[in-house]
Structure 1
Amino acid sequence: MGLKYQNILVAIDGSTEADRAFKKGIEIAKRNNATLLLVHVIDTRTFALIEAYDTVIGDRAEKLAKDMLENYQKQAVDEGLTTVHFEIDFGSPKIKIPRDLAKKHKIDLIICGATGMNVVERFFIGSVSEHITRYAACDVLVVRTEKDS
């Protein structure tokens, strides 16, 4: 088994960590001549908190995600990648990314940002990156924010 990746998924959520993961994803995809898949999962669990949820909220979240991913896709193409796709999904990112999307797209590397959750939040709900690392059937790279020297 070689160390060459063919299908790389980068989880994008708009955070600084996800932006750094995206930049690392570009570099790894360039070195491997790989396909880059940018994924944003709209966490529908947050909609349960909104009593009068209607489709407007979901549509707006999808439009914002599409705009964000199109921007990232353009950046990747401008950096020289030729095969860059994106996908928006609904549900729990903890489940959708490692179990559904990675399998659907035959992903061999998932890149995600580390979370900014504190210890208490991680204890009760766990981080998305932790779940991806635990349940993915492929390699996972968790990218942290640069520390000031």
Structure 2
Amino acid sequence: MNEIAENKQKLQAQTPGAYRAQSGEYVFNFSKVNQILGGPDYSPVYGGCVEGDRMIVALMTAPAGKQSEPHSHPNEQWIYVLEGVMEILVEGERHTAHPGELIYIPANTIHCGCTPTEKDAKFFTVKDASHSLHGIKVQK
């Protein structure tokens, strides 16, 4: 691969639809970047996503009463709850997180979540860029 092709590849997001930070960009408005699904084939969460060289960040909404299907991803994930209540199942253990609480999902760990109330949950999530924002649905 030549240098021009390598540079172009570096500037494209690995998560389909996510925004890839470009050289010289330092401030982003989540409401103005592409709104994508957090896990198109396993999760109803949606929001803005920005990727850099080593980090992926997203501001997501988890719709009230909706649930994701079990999935994992090769990259670790942090989820900071901003609004609402999130219930998660990590390796078969149920946890509830409220605004101001932080959830940690280790790499390659099967998990799923839901918003058990009538109010949407909003959360900020961070993953390392060793893999995309999207995970891998557990096959039944």
Category of TM-score, reference length = shorter chain? under 0.3
TM-score, length of structure 1 as denominator length = 0.24
Higher helix share: 1
TM-score, length of structure 2 as denominator length = 0.25
Higher strand share: 2
